[in-house]
């Protein structure tokens, strides 16, 4: 089973390149090759320590070198385009970015017609009164008033082929089930009545003998998935250790106005490109982890109290190769402590030690995490970041900050940390949605509000 999972992940990433060809934009090729490296490394992680793992590691290391070299060649740009038959498509995204940045915040023609009227201003539809209602393909309702009473049944009934987007409306209710958006389910939009009203919940965890990546309450493998106004939870307690609420392995995934709640490893942003807007994400240790290219914009990140003796850590990014285009970007968001952690961080009540909280730690050698134009509350440790347990890997990681505010944004204590960088504007621009995700090519068309640049640059 482990070998099948491993092979399936790598083959899927490679098939994206084989199917769509090397004539796609350079950013697509970089995203897919980065995912190949991610899955090659994940294959090794799946196996317990021993001879089999060593053999898999040797094989995957050779494959990683090939993928890394291919990424390096693509990054050299148009000068080497003829070698890979990329031609003018290499800079397609770059040529169009400026025009799309200008139109993304003002265009209303792309706003989905199913969005409630009170949400339309948030979706950039000021002054528009597009009343045409779009009927969802299927409706899920616990009370029996829809087509299905659970989400999994609605997904199982999806046709093998369909044109355009497939809309699933989830009515108010608590749905206790494991939801899987499989690789064949592309262009699915799932929306609810609110992140506190339409809730998917589960409690799978590793202590009960389930492998980490299989504990997810909600798993996304299909490309171009969009979720809106949904709550996703894993209610396993802190003593159950790793327990995913959400795992995302689909390219160009979007989560808007969602609430993702758990403890350790709440969100596994596993691979490919992902965008989170106006979401609430809560957890204890490494609660945003993985090796996706992911931007969290205007999100509220709520740090909860971990098990005794554990630090609280927001991110654990897993970039394995310096050529990969992956990383986590927290942009125009707020990082806060919940009430229980806040009291623990400021006192020694009941003889317990205060909890140290960090913005991130490097899960893999070339981990990359950026926090910019965000508010960091004062409960965060002055050093900001910590090494992975038992490893000295801060030196190869990249932790960048730019123009943050709040009592926890003072970088004086960070400067002594290896891998930490106070970024200037030019470097910060590299991590905007427009440049890091090439988001102008795929986010505005969904109607999701997005800031493609830095504050004041395009709004």
Strands (E), 109-225: 138-140, 166-170, 173-176, 179-181, 188-192, 198-202, 218-220
**pLDDT tens by residue, 284-322:** 999 999 999 999 999 999 999 999 999 999 999 999 999
Average the pLDDT over each of 93-97, 271-275, 308-312 and give the range with the smallest value.
93-97
Q: How confident is the model at residue 124 (pLDDT cuts 50, 70, 90)?
A: very low
- Report the C-alpha gap between 305 and 7 in whole angstroms: 37
Q: Are 428 and 402 in contact (CB under 8 A)?
A: yes
Q: CA 154 from chain center: how many Å?
A: 25
Q: Kindly report the average pLDDT of the chain as a whole number.
A: 84
Residues in a beta bridge with 261: 233, 282
CATH for 172-446, options being 2.30.30.140, 2.160.20.10, 2.40.40.20, 2.40.37.10: 2.160.20.10
DSSP-assigned letter for residue 73: H
Q: Which backbone phi and psi does 346 adopt, to 5 degrees?
A: -110, 0
Of residues 372, 373, 370, 346, the one with CA closest to residue 357:
346
Of residues 369, 368, 430, 372, the one with CA closest to residue 402:
372
Neighbours of 441 (CB within 10 A): 18
**pLDDT tens by residue, 26-49:** 788 889 889 888 888 777 676 667
Strands (E), 75-197: 138-140, 166-170, 173-176, 179-181, 188-192
Helix (H, G, I), strand (E, B) or coil at 251: coil
Asked whether the predicted pLDDT for residue 60 surpasses 90, the reply is no
Catalytic status, residue 45: no
Catalytic residue among 223, 251, 286, 321: 286
Catalytic status, residue 265: yes
The angle formed by the CA atoms of residues 152, 156 and 160, to the nearest 5 degrees, is: 145
Catalytic residue among 28, 265, 291, 321: 265
Asked whether the predicted pLDDT for residue 358 surpasses 50, the reply is yes
- The β-bridge relationship of strands 218-220 and 226-228 is unpaired
Q: Are 179 and 219 in contact (CB under 8 A)?
A: yes
Of residues 355, 317, 316, 359, the one with CA closest to residue 335:
359
Asked whether the predicted pLDDT for residue 240 surpasses 90, the reply is yes
Which pLDDT belongs to residue 47? 67
**pLDDT tens by residue, 159-194:** 999 989 999 999 999 999 999 999 999 999 999 999
133: which 2 tokens?
């209602």
Which pLDDT belongs to residue 2? 55
pTM of the model: 0.86
| Helix H or strand E segment including 99 | helix 92-104
Which pLDDT belongs to residue 394? 87
Which pLDDT belongs to residue 20? 53
Average the pLDDT over each of 65-74, 182-191, 269-278 and give the range with the smallest value.
65-74
| Helix H or strand E segment including 46 | helix 26-46
């Amino acid at each position: 089973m482990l070998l099948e999972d491993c092979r399936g992940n790598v083959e899927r990433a490679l098939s994206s390149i084989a199917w769509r060809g090397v004539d796609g934009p350079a950013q697509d090729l970089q995203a897919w090759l980065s995912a190949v490296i991610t899955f090659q490394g994940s294959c090794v992680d799946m196996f317990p320590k021993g001879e089999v793992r060593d053999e898999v590691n040797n094989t995957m290391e050779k494959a990683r070198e090939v993928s890394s070299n291919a990424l390096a060649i693509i990054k050299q740009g148009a000068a080497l385009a003829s070698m890979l038959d990329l031609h003018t498509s290499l800079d397609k995204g770059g040529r169009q970015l400026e025009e799309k940045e200008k139109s993304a915040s003002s265009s209303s023609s792309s706003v989905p017609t199913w969005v409630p009227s009170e949400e339309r201003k948030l979706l950039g539809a000021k002054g528009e009164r597009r009343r045409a209602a779009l009927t969802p393909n299927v409706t899920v309702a616990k009370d029996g008033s829809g087509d299905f009473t659970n989400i999994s049944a609605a997904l199982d009934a999806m046709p093998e082929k369909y044109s355009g987007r497939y809309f699933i409306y989830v009515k108010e209710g608590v749905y206790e089930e494991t939801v899987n958006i499989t690789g064949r389910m592309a262009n699915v939009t799932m929306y609810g009545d609110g992140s506190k009203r339409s809730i998917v919940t589960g409690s799978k965890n590793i202590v009960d003998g389930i492998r980490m990546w299989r504990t997810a309450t909600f798993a996304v493998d299909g490309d171009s998935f969009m979720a809106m106004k949904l709550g996703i939870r894993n209610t396993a307690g802190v003593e159950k250790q790793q327990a995913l609420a959400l795992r995302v392995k689909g390219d160009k995934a979007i989560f808007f106005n969602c609430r993702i709640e758990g403890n350790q490893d709440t969100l596994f942003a596993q691979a490919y490109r992902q965008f989170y807007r106006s979401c609430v994400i809560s957890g204890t240790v490494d609660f945003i982890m993985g090796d996706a290219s992911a931007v969290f914009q205007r999100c509220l990140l709520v740090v909860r109290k971990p098990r005794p003796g554990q630090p609280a850590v927001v991110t654990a990014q897993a970039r394995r190769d310096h050529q990969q285009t992956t990383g986590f970007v927290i942009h125009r968001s707020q990082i806060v402590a919940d009430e229980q952690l806040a009291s623990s961080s400021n006192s020694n009540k009941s003889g317990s030690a205060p909890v140290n909280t960090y913005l991130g730690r490097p899960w893999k050698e070339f981990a990359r995490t950026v926090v910019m134009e965000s508010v960091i509350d004062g409960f965060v440790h002055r050093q900001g970041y910590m090494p992975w347990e038992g490893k000295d890997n801060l030196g190869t990681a990249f932790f960048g900050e730019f123009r943050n505010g709040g009592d926890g944004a003072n970088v004086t204590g960070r400067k002594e940390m290896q891998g930490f960088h106070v970024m200037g504007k030019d470097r910060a621009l590299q991590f905007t949605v427009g440049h890091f995700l090439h988001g102008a090519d795929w986010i505005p068309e969904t109607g999701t509000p997005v800031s493609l640049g830095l504050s004041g640059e395009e709004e």
